[in-house]
Amino acid sequence: MSNATTITAADGVPFVDTVRDFDAPISAVFKAHTDPDLLAKWLGPREARLNVTKYDATTGGTWHYESGHEDAMFGFHGVFHTVETDALIIMTFEFDGAPNQVGISSTTFEEVDGRTRIVAHEVYPTVEARDMALATGMNYGVVEGYERLDELLAT
């Protein structure tokens, strides 16, 4: 069964909210978000490559990865501010191509009717920064990435 991804970006505020259910236990969904080897298998669209160069998913840890294609790779990095196993990840995110435009993301993991629901709230520095991120096709990458995560969790 395919689960729908709900992405909301209301006018006038620099937020993106995403809600997604998975037919898997919280521990498996959380691990897929914190284990760099698993993350590399699902994050982003199918046609993109993901090279995780650093991913210390602990409170105070840092992360960096590159995503894209052979001829165009784009870097992203940040800091994990709070990591509570099977419950919460709060982290910053920054596109290497837009220095000093730091966003913050809060993702909760909860059990709902025997499934795992993730709720992510991303805060961008400005509405314009958020709109530029959306214009890159971010929604497509999120939806397809979660479809890939469904496939990974089923194995």
CB under 8 Å to 120, separation ≥6 — which residues? Answer: 16, 17, 18, 19, 105, 106, 107, 108
CA distance 65 to 59: 18
CA distance 109 to 132: 27
Predicted confidence pLDDT, tens digits, the chain (155 residues):
568 999 999 999 999 999 999 999 999 999 999 999 999 999 999 999 999 999 999 999 999 999 998 889 999 999 999 999 999 999 999 998 888 899 999 999 999 999 999 999 999 999 999 999 898 888 899 999 999 999 999 99
pTM as predicted: 0.94
Q: Residue 16 in contact with residue 130, Cβ under 8 Å? A: yes
Q: Residue 119 in contact with residue 17, Cβ under 8 Å? A: yes
